[in-house]
Amino acid sequence: MVPAQPDMERGLTLKADKPIIKSFLWQDFYKFTMGYFVYHLYKDVTVRYAFKNRTTGIHIGNLIDIGALKEELDHVRTLHITRSEHHYLRGTFEYGNKMFSDDYLDFLRDITMPDYHFEVVDGQIALEFEGPWSTAIYWEIFALVIVQTLLGRAVLKRHSRFELDAVRAEGVRRLADKIAILKTRPDIIFSDFGTRRAFSPEWQEYVVGALSEELPGGYQFLGTSNVWLAMQYGLLPMGTDAHERTMVIAALMDNDPEGNGVRAAISTATQQWWDLYNYGLSIALPDTFGTDAFLRSFTPAQAYTWKGFRQDSGDPLDIIGNKYIPFYRQCGMNDGEIRGKLAIPSDGLELPLMTKITDTFKDVVRISSGWGTNLTNDLGLKTLSIVIKVVSANGRGTVKLSDNPTKAMGRSEDIARYMKIFVYGAHDSVECKY
């Protein structure tokens, strides 16, 4: 297939197609890399995911079209990968010889997504997904994209034709500004990580289409986490690992009051990932229980062999400069070796911050940014902070601490326990277990 030309007309209408999710590949790539890992090792673990609106002042349940929401969620349950999508995933060559097994791909061909639980409570939507981890894992992206798109429709509902035109113009103008800056700074390397927060699938396709035309070649605009868009536009599909993987493994290993199982979960998750994918997907996501705890468990051999880190919470300048780099040094690496490593900031990036990170670590470490909301939902409209997170595994509560204490997730007693187990916040100096 020739890379599609971005359909300017279509992206510009701001009209959402029906159905919103038109393909099972409208997913972040890491859902498939984790999905295969889960299929391979944790197939029958029962997990529960819950929707959360962090912007509590906005009552989503009163705002969006509930009938459309259910219709769109029901539609997702009819999706499978098509024959050509099967070819595409099976033929993925960028991260190793044969990353997905045929039985996993057959499973995706025959998959039926588990049912959802939905109600409106005090004007907010309560939306939960429970089922085998191997299938429920795909709900997060599908459901977030649907809610996000319906929110956008609700916001624009009372706009006149001219007002719609003005919103569109603002979105294009902002994208044009970004592209103009990027063209003067070819050293700012980035990928589209904005599927879950995009204004709509059509808008994201417009943005990615424009980027692939304006910054062609895959040198600066490396690729997209959106598998459908990667396939459609001939871009590199991007992504490796997310927090849910270590969160669930920790919950499953939580078999002793002292927390030895939970503590060991980090290195178990790390090793199992390597065993499955080796070098190809060796980007560690160290902040699930705080980066300090992760670095304590990461061996010098792993520091040498893994490609690098994704930095997803806390201050990227601090985390990269004061944790990753000193850690690599303590592991015995010289400047040249560290320059070969990769750091992928992916938390709430905007172009000024991306520029600052790039400038700061020029000649120190390779930086490649995962650009989300600000890339795919920047039309001058208010955006909400909505998430869907795994909340339990085989009935046990899951926890995420991250490097930003206000972003901790889980039951408060579980959070407190995990903080104690990981001595959260106490370790400011970086150690390497030489």
Which residues of the shown chain bind a second copy in the complex (CB under 8 A)? 1-3, 22-23, 25, 82-93, 97-98, 102, 105, 228, 230-236
- Could you tell me the two tokens for 15? 């009209």
- What does the alpha-carbon distance between residue 249 and residue 243 come to, in Å, rounded to a whole number? 10
Task: Quote the least distance from Cβ 204 to a second copy, whole Å.
Answer: 15
Q: Whose Cβ is closer to a second copy: residue 82's or residue 271's?
A: 82
Contact 370, 225 (CB under 8 A): yes
Q: Whose Cβ is closer to a second copy: residue 93's or residue 162's?
A: 93
Exposure class string for 329-349: b at 16+ Cβ within 10 A, else e: ebbebeeeebeebbbbbbbeb
Q: Whose Cβ is closer to a second copy: residue 85's or residue 378's?
A: 85
- Residues recorded for the chain: 434
- Could you tell me the two tokens for 254? 């939580």
Q: Whose Cβ is closer to a second copy: residue 232's or residue 374's?
A: 232
Q: Is 350 left (phi over 0), alpha (psi -120 to 50) or beta?
A: beta
Task: Quote the least distance from Cβ 34 to a second copy, whole Å.
Answer: 20
Q: Whose Cβ is closer to a second copy: residue 4's or residue 381's?
A: 4
Task: Quote the least distance from Cβ 211 to a second copy, whole Å.
Answer: 15
- Could you tell me the two tokens for 421? 């187990």
Q: Whose Cβ is closer to a second copy: residue 201's or residue 259's?
A: 201
Task: Quote the least distance from Cβ 236 to a second copy, whole Å.
Answer: 7
Contact 144, 45 (CB under 8 A): no
* Long-range Cβ contacts of 109-118 (<8 Å, 24+ apart): 109/80, 109/81, 110/80, 111/24, 111/80, 111/81, 111/135, 111/138, 112/77, 113/76, 113/77, 113/79, 113/138, 113/139, 113/142, 114/139, 115/77, 116/73, 116/143, 118/69, 118/70, 118/73
Task: Quote the least distance from Cβ 2 to a second copy, whole Å.
Answer: 4
Q: How many whole angstroms from its chain centre is CA 138? A: 12
Pairing of strands 124-132, 116-121: antiparallel
Task: Quote the least distance from Cβ 22 to a second copy, whole Å.
Answer: 5
- What does the alpha-carbon distance between residue 207 and residue 227 come to, in Å, rounded to a whole number? 15
Q: Whose Cβ is closer to a second copy: residue 102's or residue 177's?
A: 102
Q: Whose Cβ is closer to a second copy: residue 73's or residue 155's?
A: 73
Task: Quote the least distance from Cβ 238 to a second copy, whole Å.
Answer: 12
Task: Quote the least distance from Cβ 9 to a second copy, whole Å.
Answer: 13
> From the CA atom positions of the chain, what is the Rg in Å?
21
